[in-house]
Amino acid sequence: MSLPKRYLITSALPYANGLKHVGHLAGAYIPADIYVRYLRAQKRDVVFVCGSDEHGTAIPIQATKEGTTPRAIIDKYHEAMKQDFEDLSMSFDIYHRTSEPIHHETAQEFFTYLEERGELETKETEQFFDEATNTFLADRYIKGTCPNCGSDRAFGDQCENCGRTLSPDELINPVSTLSGKTPIKKKTTHWYLPLGKHEEFLREWILKEHKDDWRATVVGQCRSWIEGGLQSRAISRDLDWGISIPHADGAGKVLYVWFDAPIGYISATKQWALDNKKEWEPYWYSEDTKLVHFVGKDNIVFHCIIFPIMLKLHGNILPTNVPANEFLNLEGDKMSTSRNWKLDMRDYINDFVKKENGGGQAVDMLRYYLTQIAPETKDSEFMWKGFQDAVNSELGNIFGNFVNRTWVLMHKLCGGKVPKLHEDVLTDDDKWIMREIEAAKSKVENLLEEYKFREALFEVIDLSRKGNQYMQKKEPWIKAKQLEALKVSPTGGDLEGAQKSIDNTMHLCLQLSANLAILINPFLPNTAKKMLGMMKVVEKMLDWENAGKLKLLSVGYAMRAPELLFRKIEDDEIKYQVEKLKSGLVKPETDKKMETDTNTPLGDGGKPSIQFDDFAKIDLKVGTIVAAEKVEKADKLLKLSVDLGFETRTIVSGIALHFKAEEIVGKQVVVVANLAPRKMRGIESNGMILMAEDKEGKLHFVNPQDAINPGAPVN
């Protein structure tokens, strides 16, 4: 099979609505980066694109949460994510953003192209509309009970509890998260991409052509989508945040984010080409380009079914592969941003990378562990203890130890220079390690070409393991002692033979180390760079074609002193991380209130039982409302000043639809006094007022029957 002429590699565009955790990193970023670094070392023509996905309702929702504008949110998180990726040695050729004009134009052109060729349908439908706020409700703005698992943490697009994809119509008892009211249905017209028309194409292309070379998990998910019946999918929506629709009937509508986001790969390629004075078209139109999308499993449907249909209709090439990863769990539980059960890239960077002198070591330790446990075929688990073991026992004790012993002995026994290889006295052990060095290249290469990064990394570590075995068998330090003894022995002996054995051992260990640098480079680029420094050679040596060679380091060439490649991870560090994780856990029950920005109780009974200790953690106090005013531009929020006896607190409460500000001054209330402060519409709220909700949905204060001193505890 002839090699592709060029490669376009993409990593899923992360949503610019928050920091990303290591589960994301393991899923769509590190594997892509390994693959790209390998291709670059192969001198292939490769462009690696990624960027922030800055549209969709998640952005204005986050803006509401943080009391700011959508623009401020995307600026903040775009910069943060870009920085985090850089800090973890992700080597994108461009990290773009979908808010850029070039992307808007590209996505609009794409829409118009399909629209003018009659590839889209329009349909009038009834959609949920919130009369209180006069807006059509995006799926994310509708909350209700999941028809699948019964959880009340289900949104109009997906259930947070069981992960099932939903449509708003499937929700039981839907309410608007904007007003807390039951929405009505209202007519609206939208464009649709009729996926069903392309079923035969998908069957042929995925289920036949790619059934063997794509991951079984990916083909399996595609099969179930196809067999489940492909519905037309709306590509426009009523929203004011996104890419406007270039059509006479498009007023007030934007492109659905799932439609514009993957086009972001194209606009990023265009921008990269502009920046580098290259042509972008071959990467998206030439059949000799290999397009590979790296994504997490939640993105399979978009990259294997929907986007390929769009690409086909638009005349672009199709992806050659979509090596999607499964999920990474953390310490025995699903990673979750809303429950704060996660390890953000930023946290790792602060706790490990930033604390290191120089840099790169901590980055590579994480890259190593995440690759070693990569969820390539099934979900896997990040365990802090596992991280410690991987770093200390494998990276340190096997790889690091081999390189370090080689350097120390070479300085001690060979004067810091590469000794000669004496071909006349090669032993079976020498010949064995030479064969292993030569064989490692194709083993690692074949696995990388098949996107089996975990196994490929194993082979690299295995070569260093063999290096240790080899050195252990040859025992150059014993040979050195024998040599010293022979030199002073009156009877003499085979001085030359002993010296040759030492030379051969150290020569081969050094060539093996050079090979390790080349092979580890795609996975742990900082380690490879450090090894280059120790070998005093230029980066060119890392070219993949040098792997498997036995003459990388010239005889007589002087090496530098060894540097520690990997430090030990101490028990204390692990203990600290586990405790930090556990103490930060937000229980789903309290989380509901966090998400809805209101005191309106959404749950209706059926909460799991708690221990007395759980209850005792809540500091309930009687307070007196001394002032109240409406919060600007927030229909349902009141800003209250509440006298708690020892201090007067500002509390923002979602009760404005039920009470007028002036009516409630002087009322006594029960306050959750130790709720962590949070910002709503830019105002810091320090507590929560307890409310009871009646059958009609009206709220009532919970308060003592008789007037009592503010600050009185409620037990």
**Chain contacts with Zn ion (rule: CB under 5 A):** 146, 148-149, 151, 159, 161-162
Give the integer Cα–Cα distance in Å for 156 and 165.
Answer: 9
CA-based nearest residue to 543, from 44, 162, 114, 33: 44
Closest to Zn ion by CB, 149 or 558: 149
For the bound state, the minimum distance from the C-beta of residue 181 to Zn ion, rounded and expressed in Å, comes to 23
Beta bridge partners of 679: 684
Closest to Zn ion by CB, 148 or 338: 148
For the bound state, the minimum distance from the C-beta of residue 144 to Zn ion, rounded and expressed in Å, comes to 11
HEC states along 111-169?
A: HHHHHHCCCCEEEEEEEEEECCCCEECCHHHEEEECCCCCCCCEECCEECCCCCECCHH
Q: Which amino acid is at 570?
A: E
For the bound state, the minimum distance from the C-beta of residue 141 to Zn ion, rounded and expressed in Å, comes to 18
**Residue appearing with tokens 């059926």:** 606
DSSP letter (8 states) at residue 558: B
Cα-Cα-Cα-Cα dihedral sign, residues 183, 187, 188, 193: positive
Distance of alpha carbon 336 from the chain centroid: 12
Measured from the Cβ of residue 489, the count of other Cβ atoms closer than 10 Å reads 11
Cα-Cα-Cα-Cα dihedral sign, residues 503, 509, 511, 513: negative
For the bound state, the minimum distance from the C-beta of residue 173 to Zn ion, rounded and expressed in Å, comes to 14
Give the integer Cα–Cα distance in Å for 428 and 642.
Answer: 84
Closest to Zn ion by CB, 167 or 442: 167
For the bound state, the minimum distance from the C-beta of residue 148 to Zn ion, rounded and expressed in Å, comes to 4
Closest to Zn ion by CB, 148 or 648: 148
Closest to Zn ion by CB, 238 or 591: 591
Closest to Zn ion by CB, 164 or 529: 164
CA-based nearest residue to 51, from 5, 3, 106, 2: 106
What is the DSSP secondary-structure string of 38-67?
HHHHTT--EEEEEEEB--STHHHHHHHHHT
666 contacts 673 by C-beta, under 8 angstroms:
no
Rg of the chain over all Cα atoms, to the nearest angstrom:
31
For the bound state, the minimum distance from the C-beta of residue 149 to Zn ion, rounded and expressed in Å, comes to 3
Closest to Zn ion by CB, 333 or 571: 333
Closest to Zn ion by CB, 40 or 592: 592
What is the number of alpha carbons within 13 Å of residue 398 lying toward its C-beta?
A: 17
Closest to Zn ion by CB, 315 or 606: 606
Closest to Zn ion by CB, 149 or 439: 149
Give the integer Cα–Cα distance in Å for 130 and 517.
Answer: 60
What is the number of alpha carbons within 13 Å of residue 614 lying toward its C-beta?
A: 8
DSSP letter (8 states) at residue 632: T
Closest to Zn ion by CB, 159 or 516: 159
For the bound state, the minimum distance from the C-beta of residue 195 to Zn ion, rounded and expressed in Å, comes to 24
User: What does the buried/exposed string (b/e) look like for 405-431 if buried means 16 or more CB atoms within 10 Å of the residue's CB?
Assistant: bbbebbbebbeebbbebbeeeeeebbe
For the bound state, the minimum distance from the C-beta of residue 694 to Zn ion, rounded and expressed in Å, comes to 28
Joined together, the tokens standing for residue 193 give 């991409």
For the bound state, the minimum distance from the C-beta of residue 71 to Zn ion, rounded and expressed in Å, comes to 33
Helix axis angle for 401-413 and 453-474, nearest 10°, is 30
For the bound state, the minimum distance from the C-beta of residue 129 to Zn ion, rounded and expressed in Å, comes to 24
For the bound state, the minimum distance from the C-beta of residue 161 to Zn ion, rounded and expressed in Å, comes to 4
Strands 620-630 and 638-643: antiparallel
Q: Which amino acid is at 116?
A: E
